Structure 1
Amino acid sequence: MKIALFGGSFNPFHTDHLNIIKHAHNQSGYDEVWIVPTNQNPLKPDNMCSNAHRLAMIELAIKDLKYVKIDLVEINSDQKPNYTFDTIEYFINKYPEYNFDFIIGSDNLETLESWKGFEQMKEWVNFIVFIRESLNPKFKSIIGNLKLKCENFLAVNLSSTKVRKGEDLNLQLPVINKYINENLLYVQERMIHQGLDQKRISHSFNVAEKCVELAKNFNVDVHSAEYAGLFHDITKFWSHDKHLNLIKKYAPRLASEPMPVLHSFSGSLFLQNMWNVKDLKAIQAIGRHTVGAVDMTPLDMIVFIADKISVERDYPMVDDLRELAKKDLVECFIACVENQYNVALTKHSLNNIGQQLIITYNHWVKKEQKWN
């Protein structure tokens, strides 16, 4: 039997990994493809998610492919680092009846000759280079000198780095997007990529913590609350033009709102349309966390309140609001709206605070009814 070994961190597994596997079986003639995930390296930065999460994502992606299996030889190894040499030696010794080849990406070409025992490995297996874009002359020269076999596969040019940052998620396997969102993976890396500084990141985590506390207290979906708290400010540092470009595309009626509140609208639109977040309850709460709405849900109120009373907030009435939030969600929301309205009025005048906050204030604070 002819086996293609496919090693990597798969942090996370993505569409091009799957395309390589399908090509190896359907076009290259391998009977099976064995995925060999690397162990979690303690020297790697924090963007490496746990072995359990990485394995779960791989399993979701390959669940319908009977010719693919996952081998945990490196995951279960106590050896650090795990060298490809040791992995290949393990397979050829354990399964002498099989013929093995080893899949590599073109990004490994520059360092390939420096791998431990490379010359010996070449006698054991063929290294198959899967190419997802045109090669530069240097890489072509390496392939020629080392007499490596190449495979051109149907690539979408996605990478694990892009996925961790939240880029090109429309190209990612939906089941993996869903898993990442549901398990809150790569949160800080995605925040940093959207320009959030450490102060804003700390605020976001504080808001999420308060959201969870309030959600538990008022029997509201904790995961939706935590997600909305973490990402309520995801587009906070976008330029005015960037906010407007997205808002005009998906919610043009909100384009006239003032700059300080645009991130709530662009944030919800960005998460739904660019990151493919399916939690519409969390999306709505993020879109309402600055100016509220007439038809606020308990989750909407929780995110609105948590943003105003998170642990680092320090203004004259914040302690009173924190105490009120423990007892009465609606009354605390009303008090937060009134305070926000008064602050906005003082800073910007009535003509410059936006219609959405005025509508919310009139309904909840002044108790005006809106009739259709």
Structure 2
Amino acid sequence: MKIGIYGGSFNPVHNGHIHLAETAVTEFGLDRLYLLPSKKSPHRSSAEYAPDEDRLEMLRLACKGNEHLFVSDFEMQTDRVSYTIYTVEHFREEFPDDELFLLVGSDMLLSFDTWYRFEEILANVTLCVVSRESGDIPELRKKAEELSKFGKILVSEASPTVISSTEVRKKIAKNKDFTCYLDENVVQYIRLKGLYSVRGEKKLLYNPDDKKKYLKSQLSAKRFNHSLNVAEECRKLAEKYGEDPDKAYFAGLLHDICKEMPDNVQKELVLNSGYTVCREELETRSLWHGIAGAYFIKKEFGVEDIDILNSIRFHTVGRAGMSRLEEIVYMGDLISAERDYKDVDKMRKLAYTDLNAAMMEAFAFSMKSVIKKGGVIPICTAEGYNFYTRLLKEEKNDSNLKRGLK
């Protein structure tokens, strides 16, 4: 048999890895290709490196259904430095009478003569090289020619699938779409286990310090103080309801970032935002800053977390089916420490005991305020009120039904 060996961190395994593996199987006629994830270094953080067992499982999921691809944990089980020659020796013992092939990417070939005991590796395997970058075939052929005196080297002519595990991890950490780069089963596994988005990484993403300096320079003292109060309220609500406190603080801090910008600047941001904006919002100047703010922080600060953007976009008008973070920012704005309207203490208490009930009351409060001022209620606000009213009614019916069953 022709036995292939393909090592790497697979952190996470992506479509480029699988394309490279399948290309090798087809082009080099491999009967089996073993994929071996490397052992995690103790100093690596979880934001950089998923645990060994998770990378192993993701690899199994990605290879599932391909009869030529196998997963081995050999390199994870050893306590010594994981040099490739040790892996080659292991497979030579496992398959003494079979032909061994070592699969590497183009970047590895170019530095192959610096590897530990590389001459012995080439004496025991056929080196198979698959390009990882467009246009590097001539350079690979030249390097293969230089190393050919030590053993047999094959260079694939297949076009590469250029994907970086580092970029995939960054997209996951920033809550950007990464699904097109990975097998759907791997995507589900990452989401289920919460991989690559640990608290340390989030602190970098949601660091408010530089944003505070910007806000202080752009907002009045009163508005800046309100923003700090809302951020702190959002943090407390997030802790109460199981959301990320740092993320909630960050969203609350920036919710009024465009509040005191000139009207023409706000309106231009609204019109360029790409958001669906109802007529009532477009005709009401006091509602522009939420839409403008979401677009502004995406454009100027590079914030791409859709939950943060939506929580700012809808913090004035609300909508049906708000996410928990959207609810937190909406309520945090309404009950922040400096608020002193009638019944604010009642609203605060409700926000920390029954968030759904608090949301319904908040929508009712908002609509009464609009009507009192002679305004027109935005469609999304009315839909939000109806949504939470129905939700509470359903909760009450379910509760009554359970009591009846008892």
* TM-score band, normalised by shorter chain: 0.5 to 0.7
SS in 1 for 2:163: coil
Task: Confirm whether residue 130 of structure 1 aligns to residue 130 of structure 2.
Answer: yes
Name the counterpart of 2:182: 172
In the alignment, the residues of structure 1 paired with residue 142 and residue 115 of structure 2 have an alpha-carbon distance, to the nearest angstrom, of 18
Selected match of 1:316 from 314, 338, 341 = 338
Q: Classify 1:212/1:125 alpha carbon distance in 2 versus 1 (closer, same or farther; 3 Å).
A: farther
Name the counterpart of 1:61: 62
Cα shift at 1:128: 1.1
Task: Confirm whether residue 159 of structure 1 aligns to residue 199 of structure 2.
Answer: no
1:232, 1:286 within 8 Å by CA — same for their partners in 2? no
1:5, 1:103 within 8 Å by CA — same for their partners in 2? yes
In the alignment, the residues of structure 2 paired with residue 109 and residue 30 of structure 1 have an alpha-carbon distance, to the nearest angstrom, of 20
2:290, 2:314 within 8 Å by CA — same for their partners in 1? no
Task: Confirm whether residue 214 of structure 1 aligns to residue 241 of structure 2.
Answer: yes
Q: Classify 1:322/1:338 alpha carbon distance in 2 versus 1 (closer, same or farther; 3 Å).
A: same
1:3, 1:100 within 8 Å by CA — same for their partners in 2? yes
Selected match of 2:195 from 185, 188, 197 = 185
**Identity of matched residues, %:** 20
After superposition, residues 75-86 of structure 1 pair within 5 angstroms as: 75-79=76-80, 81-86=81-86
Name the counterpart of 2:155: 150
In the alignment, the residues of structure 2 paired with residue 171 and residue 350 of structure 1 have an alpha-carbon distance, to the nearest angstrom, of 51
1:130, 1:150 within 8 Å by CA — same for their partners in 2? yes
Name the counterpart of 1:247: 274
Cα shift at 1:329: 1.7
In the alignment, the residues of structure 1 paired with residue 201 and residue 269 of structure 2 have an alpha-carbon distance, to the nearest angstrom, of 17
Name the counterpart of 1:99: 99
Cα shift at 1:65: 1.0
- CA deviations 1:291-330 (Å, max 9, x no partner) are 4535x34xx37423434678xx973359956643332223
Cα shift at 1:190: 12
In the alignment, the residues of structure 1 paired with residue 115 and residue 270 of structure 2 have an alpha-carbon distance, to the nearest angstrom, of 47
1:32, 1:67 within 8 Å by CA — same for their partners in 2? yes
Structure 1 residues without counterparts, runs of 5 or longer: 216-224, 269-273, 342-348, 368-372
Cα shift at 1:122: 0.9
Cα shift at 1:185: 2.2
Structure 2 residues without counterparts, runs of 5 or longer: 172-176, 211-229, 258-265, 299-303, 368-372, 389-406
Cα shift at 1:332: 2.9
Q: Classify 1:307/1:363 alpha carbon distance in 2 versus 1 (closer, same or farther; 3 Å).
A: closer
- CA deviations 1:1-41 (Å, max 9, x no partner) are 11111101101111111112222222320001101110111
TM-score using structure 1 length: 0.66
1:33, 1:67 within 8 Å by CA — same for their partners in 2? yes
After superposition, residues 293-372 of structure 1 pair within 5 angstroms as: 293-294=318-319, 296-297=320-321, 300=322, 302-307=324-329, 315-316=337-338, 323-333=349-359, 360=381, 364=385
SS in 1 for 2:167: helix
1:92, 1:100 within 8 Å by CA — same for their partners in 2? yes
After superposition, residues 5-20 of structure 1 pair within 5 angstroms as: 5-20=5-20
Name the counterpart of 2:34: 34
Name the counterpart of 2:315: 290
Counterpart residue identity of residue 158, structure 2: F
Name the counterpart of 2:90: 90
Name the counterpart of 2:22: 22
Q: Classify 1:338/1:137 alpha carbon distance in 2 versus 1 (closer, same or farther; 3 Å).
A: farther
In the alignment, the residues of structure 1 paired with residue 42 and residue 194 of structure 2 have an alpha-carbon distance, to the nearest angstrom, of 21
In the alignment, the residues of structure 2 paired with residue 116 and residue 129 of structure 1 have an alpha-carbon distance, to the nearest angstrom, of 18
Q: Which stretch of structure 1 is more off in the superposition, 110-119 or 320-329? A: 320-329
What is the root-mean-square deviation in Å for CA atoms of aligned residues? 5.1
Cα shift at 1:173: 2.7
TM-score using structure 2 length: 0.61
